[in-house]
Chains A and B, each alone.
Chain A
Amino acid sequence: MNSRRLFYLLPVIVFGVLCAFLLRGLSLDPSTVPTALADKQVPVFDLPPLDSQTKGLASSDLVGEVALVNVFASWCLPCRVEHPFLMELADNGAFALHGVNYKDKPEDARAWLDELGDPFLRIGADQDGRAGIDLGVYGVPETFVIDRAGRIRYKHVGPITQSDLEKYLLPLIRKLSR
């Protein structure tokens, strides 16, 4: 009788073990996708300016001060959601905010920046997405935190929210700026 009872209990036990793994699986998958480039030097790139109103972005521009590099595109809807946060971060004195305009038409990107504001010090135009491949861009928007030595310290996938900013980005930037 007891062993029979055990047989009926078996499915729920198996399911319990499965759930433990699924739960662990969820916490293994935070919004940060581990980048193969973590703590490595930024790959070498030299992107032309978006248009005559901006300066272009090269990997050499990222050495010397803490920088945030935001990969954005005018066709990307989450970027529109994220943009107000970037506007808040602009001209803060603590770090440089740069943009990489990913697979976009320059005139579309210009219209977008004119409408929503331009928070970036430099904007590199990556029309064919080649620099995106070098950087391991996974989807737009993405934001890289780069230290003074030009190493990638953190990559954020998806739009930056207030809590991301307070929990991860600002503490890290503060640490790196010291």
Chain B
Amino acid sequence: MIVEIGHIALIMALIVALVQATIPMIGAARGDGRLMAVASTAAGAQWVFIVIAFLSLMNAYVTSDFSVFNVASNSHSAKPMLYKIAGVWGNHEGSLVLWVLILATFGGAIVLFGGNLPPALRARVLSVQALIAVGFLSFSLFTSNPFERVFPAPLDGNGLNPLLQDPGLAFHPPFLYLGYVGFSVAFAFAIAALIEGRVDAAWARWVRPWTLIAWSFLTIGIALGSWWAYYELGWGGWWYWDPVENASFMPWLAGTALLHSAIVCEKRDALKAWTVLLAIVAFSLSLLGTFLVRSGVLTSVHAFATDPARGVFILGFLIFVVGGSLTLFAVRAPLLKAGGLFAPVSREGGIVLNNLLFSAAAATVLLGTLYPLFIDALGAGKVSVGPPYFNTVFIPLMAPLIVLAGIAPMLAWKRADLTGVIARIKIVAAVTVLVLLWSVYRAWGNAVFGAFGIGLSAWLASSVLFDWAVRIRLFRVSALDSLQRAIRIPRAAYGMSLAHFGVALLVAGVTASSAWRTEAIQVMRQGETISVAGFEFLFHGVVRAEGPNYTADRGHFTVTRAGGLVAELWPENRFYPVQQQPTTEAAIHTTWLSDLYVVVGDPDGQGGWSTRVYYNPLVPWIWLGAMVMALGGAVSLSDRRHRVGAPNRRRRRLMAGEPAAEVAR
């Protein structure tokens, strides 16, 4: 019964979304306030219906109602509660319901926080959002109904893929979807702006916080996914350039470019058409990712059930949404008035270069991801594109970007004094060279790449710190004065510094873990010791252990260094009988400067076990860096300029005749 209520609620949501996609749009065109007001009510109703649908599906999972086909295919009565809940989005049909739930939540948030938007703009934005919802709700209801019943109901379910039964992965999809779907807001704003033919600083100010939210969530989502791959797949790697990883990375690259170009749009009234295009592209790449994962066009470990009918539906939707919006762009964008001019050497110039590099990076990843498809479609055979391609083309694009991130924030708007900047970055250059020399020394010259990467990281980190020190006039004025200055720096500036510092951490982690990783793969017997990177790993053998829905071979290692105890590690080799599938659970000891990573494999039948031991220097900095980046996004978001109604309040106070200095504070 509850399941049918959920099904009906989803159908109701589709009907409401249809109304929301049309009536307010007509209202905005006619200037009819009553028709425009429908948007807010409809967005609220749509959210309520989808919440009902989502909760009823979750209820079916929690109560293990196997008469629902989706639950029977993806859940099992013996599964821990966390995975019963996470199982809702661990499959194609359920994840779509989460998708539309998040979409509707963003719609509701626009209503809630968009009180200061011009009514016509708000109506159009909500209409475009609803149009996307219509597409996804129809997709769910007509090709992937999560509420379908099965008769006779099986006694128990198939269970969730054991690889997905992991806390990291329980939260990976929601964050990823918050990112993907979050870009729909910037997209809706872009379409509304194209319809109105007007893009100005106010528009950019409304778009930026939504982009920041989406970007921060996507950053966390991708980081969680990579962290999961690191400890769950058991090979010590954290990024595989898998088509579906790339599908999440492409919107991130485009979204990062958008984040930066929107600043130029807001502050300098320039790069308007480009910013609108980026907003369209970022969301289009999210949709493309959805298509790639769910259509079975590319093979990947992530792919959901391959069903050509679904592929045709999403491709049709993709053509409608992306093709339509790009056509609208081609027709309307030339009408946007060009804004402020700037010299090549300026903050704007730096951001343009940033945008070019990010766009090139996104295009590179897109090409590499779809290349096997292109070749296959041209009948030239089957190929696969692997990490060598991506590493070869990606690193040369990222390196200048990091150099740029070290300089650009110090450049003035409009026209900058390059010699002055160079004089200022002397200290930064000196720090970089010192760290570079130190790491060359450490590497004994065997990994120039590693030294280069660490140098880049040091460059960016020291320039962020240096820039901050200059701003607060550290050591030039009294400590108290510096502190006051530090407090007065806008939070958006702190956000940028944090995000760039996070990038520096990430670069260091990526570099060190790729260049200086040590690994040992061997067969070990009980009592044997292996030495890796100065650590002694003593193997105590393997015992059988029982989990809630699996059995495990649990290995035991004692790690010592120079006689002192470092860690006890218990890697597991699990077997899930319901799915007849094994998984490896690596045991990891982290010191924040490095990870000791141990995996136990299969027995050799003669009392030995295959084991893999890795020493991964600086690898935790990858995820630490990503979290610092997302934190930067959050701090920037808390800046008062982004807060609802802040510009209004300021205007009112100005009108009241308060001194400008008061307002500036």
Contact = CB atoms under 8 A, between A and B. Distances in A.
B315 A28 contact: no
Nearest to B377: A24
B319 A11 contact: no
Of listed A15, A21, A81, residue having the most chain B CB within 10 A: A15
Interface string A79-118: 0110000000000000000000001000000000000000
A12 B327 contact: yes
A129 B273 CA distance: 57
A30 interface: yes
Contacts of A8: 273, 329-330, 333-334
A5 B334 contact: yes
Interface in A12-42: 12, 15-16, 18-19, 21-26, 28-31
Interface residues on A, range: 20 to 34
B394 to A, nearest CB: 20
A80 B154 contact: yes
A103 B580 contact: yes
B580 A75 contact: yes
A22 B158 contact: no
Interface in B262-299: 273, 277, 280-281, 284, 291, 295-298
Interface in A128-176: 129
B376 A26 contact: no
Given A11-B277, A21-B373, A25-B377, A75 B578 contact: yes
A12 B154 contact: no
Contacts of A28: 376-377
Contacts of B578: 75
A26 B73 contact: no
Contacts of A75: 158, 578-580
B323 interface: yes
B297 A26 contact: yes
A77 B154 contact: yes
Contact of A22 (B277, B315, B333): B315
B322 interface: yes
B370 interface: yes
A80 B152 CA distance: 9
B72 interface: yes
Given A15-B323, A29-B296, A9 B330 contact: yes
B330 A12 contact: yes
B555 interface: no
Interface in A45-104: 75-77, 80-81, 103
A162 to B, nearest CB: 15
B311 interface: yes
B177 interface: no
Interface in B290-327: 291, 295-298, 306, 308, 311-312, 315, 318-319, 322-323, 326-327
B78 to A, nearest CB: 13
Interface of A: 4-5, 8-9, 11-12, 15-16, 18-19, 21-26, 28-31, 75-77, 80-81, 103, 129
Q: Which A-B residue pairs are the 5 nearest by beta carbons?
A: A12-B326, A24-B377, A25-B297, A103-B580, A9-B330
Given A16-B323, A19-B315, 6 more contacts: A5-B334, A11-B326, A19-B318, A21-B370, A26-B297, A77-B150
